Amino acid sequence: MLVLALDTATSVVTAGLVELSGDPVTLAARAHSGPPTRPSKHGELLTPAVRALCAETGRTLSEVEAVVVGAGPGPFTGLRVGIASAAAFGHALDVGVHGVCTHDAIALTACSAGGTRIDTAVGATEPGAEIPRAGTGNLLVVTDARRREVYWAAYDPAGRRLSGPAVEAPDALAARLPQLAIGTVVGDPAFAGRLGVAIAGPSAPAPEGLVGVAAAALRAGREPAPVEPLYLRRPDAVEPTGRKRVTA
């Protein structure tokens, strides 16, 4: 089964073609990062990345049998690019679109040996690069939620989610790390200082991580549920409280 995997929940735009026969195997992947203040850039990068994947592998979109997309948590503008694009591809190709938690996919990527590591540098895709496994204790995935907050979720060493996803200030999360029994932290390295821990490993999900989270449903041929974005907080926009007076 050929699967198109997409994610725009982080600052990295991730796209990959994954073969799902036994374990998910990435045939080709693209990872591009833009300035955190320009999430709208995701829309400019995603479709060209998919075209490049097809050109590189010699496969066509008509061969795609399913789409998997990261549903967050992530900032509103960037996240909806991936979900809307996945819905468009699914509709055009008449295939199911499976939404997965982006943090689940990052955790699975981090807990896998080998594979493809996606870093924050533009086009930094390293086939066969070693991905650090979770060490002693549980695994924490941390990504940028803007507004001086982080999205986080905790996992056991096998990548099974224990708590989260949630959003809060790094200082509040740092206080609960002993309670979560965290041994390894992966994700956005910019928060290492605020959390008081080293952050290594993938900052975005690899395509095989995205497909791996949905693998059981894909193999079983289950009808996917509607993709629900994980925003985890209300948008900045609010309804006006009254009409603005324009005359004296």
Domain presence at residue 72: yes
Domain presence at residue 227: no
Domain presence at residue 65: yes
For the chain, helix (H) and strand (E) counts, in that order, are 6, 11
The C-alpha atoms of residue 179 and residue 175 are separated, in whole angstroms, by 8
Domain presence at residue 238: no
The C-alpha atoms of residue 14 and residue 153 are separated, in whole angstroms, by 20
DSSP symbols for 28-67: EEEEEE--TT-TTHHHHHHHHHHHHHHHHHT--GGG--EE
Q: Is the peptide bond before 73 cis (omega within 30 degrees of 0)?
A: yes
Domain presence at residue 17: yes
* Predicted local confidence at residue 234, as pLDDT: 64
**CATH assignment at residue 181:** 3.30.420.40
**Which structural domain, as residue segments, surrounds residue 129?**
2-220
Question: Which residues of the chain carry a pLDDT beneath 70?
Answer: 34-40, 113-136, 234-242, 244-245, 248
Total domains present in the chain: 1
pLDDT in tens, 210-232: 999 999 999 999 999 999 999 99
The C-alpha atoms of residue 59 and residue 132 are separated, in whole angstroms, by 31
Domain presence at residue 243: no
Predicted TM-score (pTM) of the model is 0.85
